[in-house]
């Protein structure tokens, strides 16, 4: 079973997360940040990855540590659940429309972390959450999950739609990338025979 549980305990946050890559998209999430909970529920629902997440953080300071550290925990859990990544499709992509917004997400579950983030917000906050923190979440996720991740908002006006399309795009791309490809016969999808390191 491709399931993993990760705990992260620091002076700033205490977080426990669990993923099941072959789930049904169930999300059981409580971070103390309502908007982040909503985005992570979207991630679970559209990736068909079951996600349980509990976080307690220094929200009396700001949302930065909790947002970033949940990205690390979810990403590490995904990486651990993937194991040696044998048999997976490896690549995934999505083009997500939300009303006036269109966002493109491409992902390589290569075990080589990298983020390209071409997303611009016109408001400093969504609810009580700083919009600049969304890049921090995606950066932490890409780093811990070991994925090359390109997120590009092609156009849009509504900031809620923009960020939600980014999470939904990640969900759909991740769903494709982590699927077991029956034609691979359990082989690692790389000419090197292993994922990670140099190209």
109-122 tens-digit pLDDT: 999 999 999 999 99
- Tokens encoding 172: 């759909």
- pLDDT value of position 187: 64
d(CA 58, CA 184): 45
Query: Which domains occur in the chain, in start order?
Result: 3-184 (3.30.230.40)
Global pTM? 0.94
Query: What percent of the chain clears pLDDT 70, i.e. is strictly above it?
Result: 93
User: Left (φ > 0), alpha (ψ -120 to 50) or beta: where does 24 sit?
Assistant: alpha
CA 76 to chain centre: 10
């Amino acid at each position: 079973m491709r399931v993993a549980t990760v705990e992260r305990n620091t002076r700033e946050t205490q977080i426990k997360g669990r993923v099941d890559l072959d789930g049904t998209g169930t999300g059981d999430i409580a971070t103390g940040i309502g908007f982040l909970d909503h985005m992570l529920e979207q991630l679970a629902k559209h990736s068909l990855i079951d996600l349980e997440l509990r976080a307690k953080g220094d929200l009396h300071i700001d949302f930065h540590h909790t947002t970033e550290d949940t990205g690390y925990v979810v990403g590490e859990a995904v990486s651990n659940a993937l194991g040696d990544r044998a048999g997976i499709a490896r690549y995934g992509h999505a083009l997500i429309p939300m009303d006036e917004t269109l966002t493109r997400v491409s992902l390589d579950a290569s075990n080589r972390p990298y983020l390209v983030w071409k997303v611009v917000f016109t408001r400093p906050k969504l609810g009580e959450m700083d919009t600049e923190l969304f890049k921090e979440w995606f950066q932490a996720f890409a780093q811990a999950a070991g994925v090359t991740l390109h997120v590009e908002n092609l156009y849009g006006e509504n900031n809620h739609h923009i960020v939600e399309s980014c999470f939904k795009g990640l969900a759909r791309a991740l769903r494709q990338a982590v699927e077991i490809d029956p034609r691979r016969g359990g082989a690692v999808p790389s000419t090197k025979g292993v994922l990670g390191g140099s190209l």
